[in-house]
Structure 1
Amino acid sequence: MRLVTFAVLTGTFALAAVGSLVAAGFAVTQVEDASEIGIRTALDKADLDWAEVQANGLQAILSGTAPNEAQRFRAKTAASTVVDASRVIDDMNVEARTALSPPHFSIEILRNDSDISLIGLIPAEMDREALLRSIARLRGVSEVSDLLQTADYPVPRGWKDTIAFAVAALNDLPRSKVSISANEVAITAMSESIPEKRQLESSLKAKAGPDIRLTTEISAPRPIIAPFTLRYVSDAGGARFDACSVDTEAARSQILAAARDSGLPEGTTPRCTIGLGVPSSEWGRATALAIRAVGKLGGGSVTFSDADISLLALEGTSQSTFDEVLGELENRLPDVYALHAVLPETPDRDEEEGPPEFIATLSPEGLVQLRGRISDEVMRNAAEALAKARFGAERVYTSARLDEDLPEGWSLRVLTALDALSRLSNGAVTVTPSSVGIRGNTGDQNANADIARLFGDKLGQTADFDIDVTYHEKLDPVAALPSPAECISQINALQEDAKINFDPGSTNVETGSRKILDSIAEVLKTCPELPLEIAGYTDSQGREEMNLALSKNRAQTILDELRMRRVLTRTFQADGFGEDDPIADNGTAEGREANRRIEFRLITEAPAEDASAQGDGEGDGDGGGEDPAAEEADNGSGAEDEPVEGAGDDTVSEEAGPEETGPEETGNIEEGSGDE
């Protein structure tokens, strides 16, 4: 009986196992058939009838001989739309071609802080995964987008070393574009200051060595704001500042109050740069009026470029409201400002959508807007990263929408167009299915030729592109540099409201006087190779040789302070003139205060001879400047005595001190009244 029961149970399990195997085999067959049919259909729709597909479990094996590498890639892409790309096995061949030259291998690496995108064509033999790993390990990188394609050709000579250098360079380039080809690297990036730019260029050249042709285009912000710019936008995305320049803290507060009244969210504190170059002392009032006008219109944007104002209302704003608000604004604006206002026409909603296009505009104040169509999210990020590397992260606004049906090569045309736009001071580029067009203004006389070469190299010599770029000398960065006389004029303007004080009995600059030195340093950074004399003066109290030594030492202190602020001082000299050339009466406290000063002036040929002749005398004075001090110490002046100052501190009575407290402002940078 037990044997019968055992036999029945065994038979039952055996039948169940057989049934499971049959069902599993049937399921696998169904998956294979579905995959084959789906991929075959996708290949037929793409006119890829040369390709064959065979399913093996979950894998789909593509075979056949492709006419070219592009067709092989299209077949693999079509199969990946049906099954996961990791399940597609590429077993295809490419027709042998004779007399074909290898393609131009190149990589464009776009870095925007933590995000990096790689676009281009690399040899199939190259260790692609190793490249991606090395980039992912770079300092601060969190995401790497791989848009690379491969071609089965030999690796060019020097390719490996070029790639290694480019990856190493990226460590120091948080916002940049690095273009790589064999033995050649072009780097475009932004730095925080002119000294940082020079240090970065020097470091990159040293790392590149003699075998790599390195081209760098590293820009640094100019310390003087030109043009003086402000842009306020209020649209569906909310209220915000795209740019904000102010001349004073009071103007900044005035502008922010107007913005908050017009919809700027509470707690939002935009960055407003305080700088030189304001077109009018009423900048704060004018910009606040325009911002409130945008609020009254219910939205729009207003852009200031020096005294030129562009106001754009939102589409759909009523004509009556527009006329009322603009009339009020025009009547209240200061006379120096010129207003141009636009009310967009409401488009015909029944009008058919035109052909796809991508447009990037660069305003005169350096603001960039990307709009139109982009193929996908990865490409939009890549385009935005390139724009930020070229124009600055805070200057780019993207409103482009995604469209998966764009023609082949659209992404390359968009990136090339943005690259070309960076050659302009202001303008726009337009990408359409049939052409790429660029128009605008530049300060580079070679811009037209450079753009033509760029389009030819990237898009092909047969591509249809249109270039309408005009050179303007006033936009030339070299021509725009201030003249030596203008530099001195700017420094004198700063001196009208500020002065330098020194600690009593010392050549140390008082803490409260460092702000004026910061401002002077920013001006001098825009004046290369300026032949500048820093001249120190004292009043007539005290011994003449002591005053001469102190004036020289204090002038040297100012020179050292400028060096610490990274001003190039190779063409500067510090001179002391003691009590010579008084500009006020030394018989009064106010006069002595005015005479204790430091002046900035140009070195000309005639004074140079006098200075040379006087230098010998000053050298003697400097020597005497130390001996009298030592003599004072030897004579037992003691720690209880007042410190010796070049203004004659050791000879001033206690009654003289109080009447000289509270320094008055003069047109010069003056030394502190504490000397007396």
Structure 2
Amino acid sequence: MRDSKFLCIGLLPFLLCSLLLLALTMAFKWREIEREVAESTRSSLGDAGHDWAKVETFNRGRNVLLTGVAPSEIAKADALSIAENAYGVRSASYAGEIATNTTTRTTGESTNKLSDESTSTLIAEESKTNLAPAELDILSDGSKVTLTGRLATQREADTLIAHATRVFGAGNVANNLTVAESTEPLTDILFLQSLKFEGDQSSNIVASLNDDQLTLTGAVPNPALSQSIEQSAASKFNGKISNQLVVSVPIIERDVCQDKVNEVLAKGKINFQTAKADISIDSYELLNRVYDVARGCPNASFEIAGHTDNTGNFDFNMTLSKQRAQSVLDYLVEKGLSSSRLNAAGYGPERPVADNSTDEGRAKNRRIELKLSN
């Protein structure tokens, strides 16, 4: 017992030294991470022309703090966006200032600063009321944008164009901006990121910024995209958002409707719960794409055909295939298709497309098909 006690006492310094060494190693590694994050952020900001921004990471790990004097609100917003997307950065915040012009009064040939603080503030407010609000319209199809409007300075315009180019890529930004004196500066540009999305030829969105309100107009192919754009903009814009987007229905030529439906179904499979007609949740997205195609074929009617493999009871399979087809019909009708354009049929194992003697073949035979019926 005594030997064990002395052994523990002898090991104690070793254990303490080991813990101290581990703590020093972790501290060194943490400082190295902070240094790398800071260098990455400074490099990204410098490449974008934001040399005014100072980067602090000490005791912040991967969280970056920007300080300094931003030339404008739009420059601050752009710098934050760049910092947040710099390599290794978890989040970015701003604790600096925004540059403001000193208010002056001209008397004869001399210009004297106003010494009375309240008078200076009053004159600044009066001067602000004489400024016209900035005007900005951004036309987007999801992959390209056109910037149109009137901004306060060329620096603002250049910053906005640079930000749009980083979001949409070089060659995807058209510039129709103008610069006019007596125009209020922009205060927010981060909402522009919400206008980049996976669209198609039917997507045509205009985001109009006027004072503290952002108005979304134009056409999108489905309600989900409208909601997604609004939610994304709301997370980045501090003012009011008016969503006036409308859902357009691109008309598909009847002769290609079948090809379009086949193309959608070839990318996935409509699944059901085992031995039941309940549609699996993971098939909803695929059915939504089928709905989008069918909605674009207003003069086409479809037969929804259910098929099974040849295992199990024949009568059960015939009934199950019809019930599954009916479930798909009900889903599409609930989405908005007219039931008069749809018919559910069950063929059980009678129309195989693969060999039922293999697992792979049986899996192919368990399927839902949509066929033009007019």
Instruction: Output the TM-score relative to the length of structure 2.
Output: 0.42
Structure with bigger RCO (C-alpha 8 Å, 6+ apart): 2
Instruction: Output the TM-score relative to the length of structure 1.
Output: 0.26
Query: Which entry has the higher C-alpha Rg, 1 or 2?
Result: 1
